[in-house]
Amino acid sequence: MITLSTDFYNPISQDFYDNLIAGIQFHQLPCTCGHSGCLKIHGYYTRGLKYENGILRLCICRVRCSVCGRTHSLIPSSLVPYSQISLPDQVEIISSVEFGTSAAAVMARTPSIDENNVSCILRRYRRYWRQRLLSESIPITPLPLLVCRCFDAFQRQFLQIKCTPNLLFLKTT
């Protein structure tokens, strides 16, 4: 899996994702095996994301490494691998509960996120992520800092539940 660094003020949409993929210089994109310039588009799959107006279906690009043969999904940093709830929504849920309020605002804005989703996010955060963030002195906001520091310390996206290899690809200038 390769996570592409994005600005968090842009709402996720298929057009946003397509523009993100179109702007990638594939010769600079590294594989988890350490090689660069060896990734080619291999295919696409559909992924659901719980969004304000229901479920947003995103067509996610997959690439294949010509050196090691592994395939990787290219996902923006505003998504959490293996989750249908965006990173900003998950962080808002955690922040609201950590600071003594409820996640009602997120659930009101995004009706497809229910109490079970909130409970699952909080359980995952408390069981795995809270102590790790504290041990590395990683703040939960701002989001770009949270993402970068989690990749530096843990080699994965914040709230990622599976231990699959994941790289953060920062935009080049």
Indicate if 41 and 63 belong to the same structural domain.
yes
Please write the tens of the pLDDT for every residue from 88-103. 999 999 998 888 788 8
Indicate if 53 and 121 belong to the same structural domain.
no
Q: What is the number of structural domains in the chain?
A: 2
Indicate if 103 and 34 belong to the same structural domain.
no
Residue 172 has pLDDT above 60, yes or no: no
For residues 46, 47, 51, 54, the Cα torsion angle rounded to the nearest 10 degrees is 60
Neighbours of 15 (CB within 10 A): 8
Neighbours of 171 (CB within 10 A): 12
Residue 52: what pLDDT?
Answer: 84
Would you say residue 110 lies in a domain? yes
8 A C-beta contact, residue 76 and residue 157: no
Indicate if 100 and 122 belong to the same structural domain.
yes
Residue 51: what pLDDT?
Answer: 86
Q: CA 43 to CA 137: how far, in whole Å?
A: 39
Residue 93 three-state SS: helix
| Domain hosting residue 55, numbered range | 2-84+164-169
Q: CA 141 to CA 101: how far, in whole Å?
A: 17
Indicate if 16 and 42 belong to the same structural domain.
yes
Indicate if 12 and 69 belong to the same structural domain.
yes
Residue 3 three-state SS: strand
**Side-chain half-sphere CA neighbours of 30 within 13 A:** 12
Residues in the chain: 173
Q: CA 76 to CA 6: how far, in whole Å?
A: 6
Helices (H), the chain: 14-22, 87-98, 104-109, 115-124, 130-136, 143-154
Q: Which pLDDT band, with edges at 50, 70 and 90, does 173 fall under?
A: very low
Indicate if 44 and 103 belong to the same structural domain.
no
Mean pLDDT of the chain: 90
Phi, psi at residue 16, to the nearest 5°?
A: -60, -45
Please write the tens of the pLDDT for every residue from 112-170. 998 999 999 999 999 999 999 999 999 998 999 999 999 999 999 999 988 888 889 98
Indicate if 46 and 120 belong to the same structural domain.
no
Residue 34: what pLDDT?
Answer: 87
Residue 7 has pLDDT above 90, yes or no: no
Residue 66: what pLDDT?
Answer: 94
8 A C-beta contact, residue 167 and residue 77: no
Residue 11: what pLDDT?
Answer: 81
Residue 146: what pLDDT?
Answer: 94
Please write the tens of the pLDDT for every residue from 35-82. 988 999 999 999 999 988 889 999 999 999 999 999 999 999 999 999
Which tokens sit at 103? 């996640």
Would you say residue 154 lies in a domain? no
